[in-house]
Amino acid sequence: DTGVSQNPRHKITKRGQNVTFRCDPISEHNRLYWYRQTLGQGPEFLTYFQNEAQLEKSRLLSDRFSAERPKGSFSTLEIQRTEQGDSAMYLCASSLADRGTHYGYTFGSGTRLTVV
């Protein structure tokens, strides 16, 4: 399978706990993006990487959120001290540099986080 893979698909956690999501992009793609989608809204940009370098972070990404892409391959998104407002679908996408905004990213199926 050459698509974007995200794990887990679903995560239910208690408020205050830490959670970590993983994204495996298409192997030849050097750009990797994280977006968040809440009910009734479109995806909102969180951050993106080119290889291992994190090039941009949204103001939506508070200090409780951290993303890494240590070897320029897979990426993790960690949320510390989760709050109910963090409940959302977290989407990962990948693309070749300079092509994502012209020809579209490839999105994964997402990780749905529910904070109770």
Q: Name the residues that contact another protein, by CB under 8 A.
A: 4, 31, 33, 40-45, 48, 55-56, 58, 91, 93, 100-110
4 closest CA partner among 21, 17, 18, 23: 23
Q: Could you tell me the smallest distance in angstroms from the CB atom of residue 79 to another protein?
A: 19
Q: Could you tell me the smallest distance in angstroms from the CB atom of residue 46 to another protein?
A: 10
Query: Under a CB-based contact definition with an 8 Å cutoff, are residues 97 and 38 in contact?
Result: no
33 closest CA partner among 95, 86, 88: 95
In the complex with another protein, the residue whose CB is nearer, 48 or 86, is 48
Q: Is 9 exposed, middle or buried (0-12, 13-18, 19+ CB in 10 A)?
A: exposed
Q: Could you tell me the smallest distance in angstroms from the CB atom of residue 48 to another protein?
A: 6
In the complex with another protein, the residue whose CB is nearer, 18 or 41, is 41
In the complex with another protein, the residue whose CB is nearer, 88 or 91, is 91
